């Protein structure tokens, strides 16, 4: 995350300006607008584990004058590799590819597509068995 922010710094000026009633750094001339998409994996089962990351990135997008264009979030992503070998979860990978197509074509990913990437493919009980073995 720090590397991302470090790479965005040249796009803004060091001074402060009011934008939308809030102190922000203005864009440098010629930097134009841009979009930020979060692609993140988590080892835990629950989706709320992503909440602090999303809040932080959305705040940074406001400061860097960038549009937050959505998030592809994959809980317990480590298990997907194993499930794919069993022929399960292929639709999750397909949804991630579709999200990229939507982003390129429409400038946004559809909520249903993002949800498909995040969908559960095992029960909490099965997940707990896997992590405890």
Structure tokens at 14: 């060091």
Name the domain count of the chain.
1
Q: Supply angle C-alpha 14, 18, 20, rounded to 5.
A: 130
Q: Which domain holds residue 76?
A: 2-132
Predicted local distance difference test score (pLDDT) of residue 9: 86
Residues 37-84: tens digit of each pLDDT: 999 999 999 999 999 999 999 999 988 889 999 999 999 999 999 999
**Please, which residues have CB within 8 angstroms of residue 71's CB and are 6 or more apart in sequence?**
37, 38, 39, 40, 50, 54, 57, 114
- Taking CB atoms within 8 Å and a gap of at least 24, the contacts of 83-86 are 83/121, 83/122
pTM for this predicted structure: 0.86
């Amino acid at each position: 995350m720090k590397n991302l922010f470090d790479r965005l710094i040249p796009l803004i000026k060091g001074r402060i300006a009011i934008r939308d009633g809030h102190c922000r750094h203005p864009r440098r001339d010629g930097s134009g607008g841009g979009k930020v998409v979060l692609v993140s994996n988590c080892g835990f089962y629950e989706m709320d584990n992503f909440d602090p990351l999303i809040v932080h990135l959305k705040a940074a997008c406001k400061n860097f004058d960038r549009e937050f264009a959505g998030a592809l979030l994959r809980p317990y992503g480590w298990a997907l590799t194993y499930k794919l070998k069993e022929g399960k979860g292929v639709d999750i990978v397909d949804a991630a590819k579709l999200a990229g197509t939507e982003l390129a074509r429409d400038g946004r990913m559809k909520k249903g597509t993002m949800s498909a990437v995040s969908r559960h493919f095992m029960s909490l009980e099965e997940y707990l068995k896997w992590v405890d073995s």
